[in-house]
Structure 1
Amino acid sequence: MKNNDMDIYGLAETNLSYRQSKIWQQQFGFHGYFDYSQQGGKGQGVGIIVSDKYDIFVHKAEYINANKKERTQIEELYHYIENIIDDAKNKNMEIIIMGDFNINYRKYLMAFVNDRWYFKLFKMLENRHLLDTIPIFNEDDKNIYTYIPPNDSNEKSRIDYIWASLPILGQSLNSTVIENDHFTTDHNTVTLSLDTQLFIGKTLPKINKSKKKITHTVFLYDEMDQDDDEFTWDNFRAGLDHEIERLKLKD
């Protein structure tokens, strides 16, 4: 964390017991919050490591075991996250969601697969005006990967994310992906650099990094063809034809 000037670090698949996490904290001198699966096994457990000055902002880490084979647990998890976000918004709090989602946002954006049930998380985050941070700061986000499978025949992908609310992004300096040099893993680290003026009144040195203009378009498909004349497919087609004509996109 010190080498990369990090103050908060989220961990997934820690495989740590309670005793092991305490040893980690004693050896490295950080504040750590860990949670574990009661079932045991590999690929389980989460943690958050926090420097002293930000420890007051973290209360706990919570692990919920879920993968695509456990649809009920995943949908319960999505509902749990949704409730936390809504509660935070009602309290005028800003939001950062981070972790190994184990689903691919680029595939969700492809129209012919985005109706799969496990992509509901992305739709929920979009509807609450949270954004994926990597494309905002990186023109070549299509070529950025967070999961590097040990078998070269398998496909690399970006399944680890940081999503944030718009005011947080307004205070952000950079978001990128870095390799992990100090431990063995098939995942890279996703980073988000924030201007600390937002939190503790001290500003980080400015980073010479241009941020892409943030635009956010929400398509309210579920509200189409309601009684309100504004939300009809006929109006949508008419508006689209007008824009095509205005922008000279017709052949």
Structure 2
Amino acid sequence: MDINNTFKITTINVAGLNTSLKQEQVLNFMKINKINILGVTETKLKNSIVENLYQNEKEYTSWWTCDDDNYYSAGVGIIMEKAYAKHVQTKDLFKGRLIHLTMFMKGKIRLSIILVYNYANNTQKPEILELYDKINEIIKSERKFQSRIIILGDFNINYEEFLEKQRKNLSIPWKLNLFKILNNYRFKDTNTLFHTKPLSTWRRNNAASRIDFNWVNFELIPDLIYASTNKVHIFNTDHSAVTSYFSIDDIFKKPQMATNRRHKVEKIIDYSKITDDQWKTFTEQSELILEEELKTLKIEECPTTTTLNRVWNSIKQIINKAKGHLPTKKPHPNKENLPEAVFFYKKKLRQLSLISMKLTNKKIKDLTNPDSTYNFIKQYYDAIMELMQRLQIQRKPLLEMNIKEFKDLIIDLFKITQIKYVEEDDLYKEEQIKYYVDKRCEELQDNKKYMLDSILNRKRKKIILDKVLIEKNGQKQLCTTDKEITEAMIEHYRNVAGKKVNDGITMNDRWQRQYAPKDDIDKDWYNAIVKEITEEEWKDTIQELAKDKAAGPLKVSNEELKHLGVNMTALTLNSQFARNEKKLLMVSGANFKNVKSSHLPIQIMRFLYH
């Protein structure tokens, strides 16, 4: 089996993640090696820093925990492809030393990932034993659900020493008890399953040891294909990366929908750039498309939920077709693009990292032949020449170099590019700091709430319904596709409504008075909802709608409604549907006391598509 086409889980002690260059290179390491989940230990960061780390990354989601009191010797994080991150249901963070993620995979399988960074100093015995108790507690709890468990990270203890003590029937030192816990629960070290003498994972001067591990429980072994230990090469650390390779035919099969969504480039209409002529074209196009739609759209039918939905779906489709020529932009306009120089050197760092990892001492032996050297250099010729011209570096023609000369060039370019990237990135950060300081001063006068939110580090909380956990036949199941989520929500609201919680309970006098009709409510206020909406009222209401607002579920914006043609406006105003929509008054839950009486149906209609 091709190990390149597998699900890869890797752990690496990065020996500090406190520079933007190293943060970028860690991501490059993931992308080049096609790692799906990366466990990072010894980040040496504070919680205030990791809150924003990789938050703008489109392909990855990350979780972090730090110890602010001892940050320089702690900190762990898990970086995961977003296609898999949507399966994460729970997280447990522990004192900058442990992250526990629970994932509900396809086939009702529960996967538990535990990342550990053990204390190196033996004088911290109480803290170490507390960490071991936490690991034991998690494993014990997950076994009740028959979870498949992987424990990875920097254990800071030597497994060979444990085996030697066990073989000689000697007393096991207290710090090695973690291996005893794992053995008791039938966990296996993935490297020992494939290598009789696994490589050391830590080297400093003449000392070496194997202290970084991936351990899996017995239930996960059938999915395991291979395990390896490899040097990193593209950033500085005294540890090697430990990787476990799993089959993608079963629980690690990537959701195709998530992959397609990730590569889809979303665009939104840029209303600030639309000219009067373009709006005129939009109006004309919508009228022409409507003329064709009317041949099949039976609006004369008695208004029902089905016919109402069909009409509004047609309106949406007509508007979407008509706005195809309007100028677009990428979403999130408040996110600033990186300066050209930062983006350029960031891109070159990734290219040079890829080339460097193909020019290791082991791999370079296959490139000594002149033809293979020529072909290898040729595939990277354009990228290298672009960088050399930017840096104004003159060297021997690339295609005339031998592989050693080319490797020396790559090493030099790599060092120079790192320096240039740091310089440009620092300049960009200085400009950003100055910009936001000035902005905060402006907001002190114009927008005090925003300024206080920024100073107090208040986070905007929101709910994203991209997964739903349900219980079916006594088993918990995670719904991740649009169809599954929709069906689960329909089933929930179909069964949850109508239940009489207080059935048979008699209310006391106080609550009877509370639910009695209110004297300050005039029932005549709502008489106007039976009136039909006039064309003038409809147009006035549409023109008063605010600009630059979110389009809502139907993706029809206020600007587009304002530029509809005569026939399209008439369709949205169809009196049969307007009359029928008075039933939606209670659903909207709005207070219409101060709304112009004749505008009530319009407000209800507005609720329909927003």
Residue 146 of structure 1, CA deviation: 0.4
- Residues 171-220 of structure 1 show CA distances to partners (whole Å, capped at 9, x for unaligned) of 111110111123211111100011123325459xxxxxxxxxxxxxxxxx
Q: Determine if contact 1:107/1:114 at 8 Å carries over to the other structure.
A: no
Give the SS at the match of 1:190. Answer: strand
Q: 1:16-165 maps to which residues of 2 (within 5 A)?
A: 16-21=45-50, 22-26=52-56, 29-58=59-88, 59-60=90-91, 61-62=93-94, 63-64=96-97, 66=119, 67-111=121-165, 115-141=172-198, 144-149=199-204, 151-152=205-206, 155-165=207-217
Distance in 2 between residues matched to 1:102 and 1:35, nearest whole Å: 18
Give the SS at the match of 2:148. Answer: coil
**Compared CA separation, residues 180 and 138, structure 1 to 2 (3 A):** same
Give the SS at the match of 2:192. Answer: helix
Q: Determine if contact 1:108/1:114 at 8 Å carries over to the other structure.
A: no
Counterpart residue identity of residue 94, structure 1: R
Partner of 1:8: 37
Instruction: Give every structure 1 segment of 4 or more consecutive aligned residues whose post-TM-superposition deviation is greater than 6 Å.
Output: none
Distance in 1 between residues matched to 2:62 and 2:154, nearest whole Å: 19
- Residues 201-249 of structure 1 show CA distances to partners (whole Å, capped at 9, x for unaligned) of 459xxxxxxxxxxxxxxxxxxxxxxxxxxxxxxxxxxxxxxxxxxxxxx
Distance in 2 between residues matched to 1:28 and 1:145, nearest whole Å: 34
Partner of 2:225: 173
Counterpart residue identity of residue 108, structure 1: F
**Compared CA separation, residues 122 and 57, structure 1 to 2 (3 A):** farther
Give the SS at the match of 1:119. Answer: helix
Partner of 2:353: none
Q: Which runs of 5+ in 1 are unaligned?
A: 204-251
**Compared CA separation, residues 28 and 140, structure 1 to 2 (3 A):** farther
Partner of 2:264: none
Distance in 1 between residues matched to 2:182 and 2:142, nearest whole Å: 13
- Residues 102-153 of structure 1 show CA distances to partners (whole Å, capped at 9, x for unaligned) of 0000001112565111111101100100011101112332xx010011x23x
Distance in 2 between residues matched to 1:28 and 1:187, nearest whole Å: 28
Distance in 2 between residues matched to 1:183 and 1:191, nearest whole Å: 17
Distance in 1 between residues matched to 2:159 and 2:32, nearest whole Å: 30
Partner of 1:217: none
> Could you say which structure has the larger radius of gyration?
2
**Compared CA separation, residues 170 and 69, structure 1 to 2 (3 A):** same
Distance in 1 between residues matched to 2:253 and 2:80, nearest whole Å: 18
Counterpart residue identity of residue 120, structure 1: N
**Compared CA separation, residues 179 and 114, structure 1 to 2 (3 A):** farther
Distance in 2 between residues matched to 1:116 and 1:49, nearest whole Å: 33
Counterpart residue identity of residue 55, structure 1: A
Partner of 2:242: 190
Partner of 2:251: 199
Q: Determine if contact 2:45/2:72 at 8 Å carries over to the other structure.
A: no
Q: Determine if contact 2:60/2:79 at 8 Å carries over to the other structure.
A: yes
Q: TM-score, normalised by structure 2?
A: 0.31
Distance in 1 between residues matched to 2:186 and 2:70, nearest whole Å: 36
Counterpart residue identity of residue 161, structure 1: F
Distance in 2 between residues matched to 1:198 and 1:87, nearest whole Å: 24
Residue 68 of structure 1, CA deviation: 1.7
Give the SS at the match of 2:70. Answer: coil
Give the SS at the match of 1:26. Answer: coil
Q: Determine if contact 1:175/1:191 at 8 Å carries over to the other structure.
A: yes
Residue correspondences, number: 198
**Higher helix proportion:** 2
Give the SS at the match of 1:135. Answer: coil
Q: Which runs of 5+ in 2 are unaligned?
A: 1-29, 98-117, 256-610
Q: Determine if contact 1:174/1:194 at 8 Å carries over to the other structure.
A: yes
Q: TM-score, normalised by structure 1?
A: 0.72
Give the SS at the match of 2:183. Answer: helix
**Compared CA separation, residues 192 and 145, structure 1 to 2 (3 A):** same
Distance in 2 between residues matched to 1:197 and 1:191, nearest whole Å: 19
Distance in 2 between residues matched to 1:200 and 1:110, nearest whole Å: 35
Distance in 2 between residues matched to 1:116 and 1:200, nearest whole Å: 37
**Compared CA separation, residues 200 and 169, structure 1 to 2 (3 A):** closer
Residue 161 of structure 1, CA deviation: 0.4
Distance in 2 between residues matched to 1:11 and 1:20, nearest whole Å: 15
Distance in 1 between residues matched to 2:122 and 2:58, nearest whole Å: 35
Counterpart residue identity of residue 148, structure 1: R
Residue 38 of structure 1, CA deviation: 2.4
Distance in 1 between residues matched to 2:237 and 2:49, nearest whole Å: 18
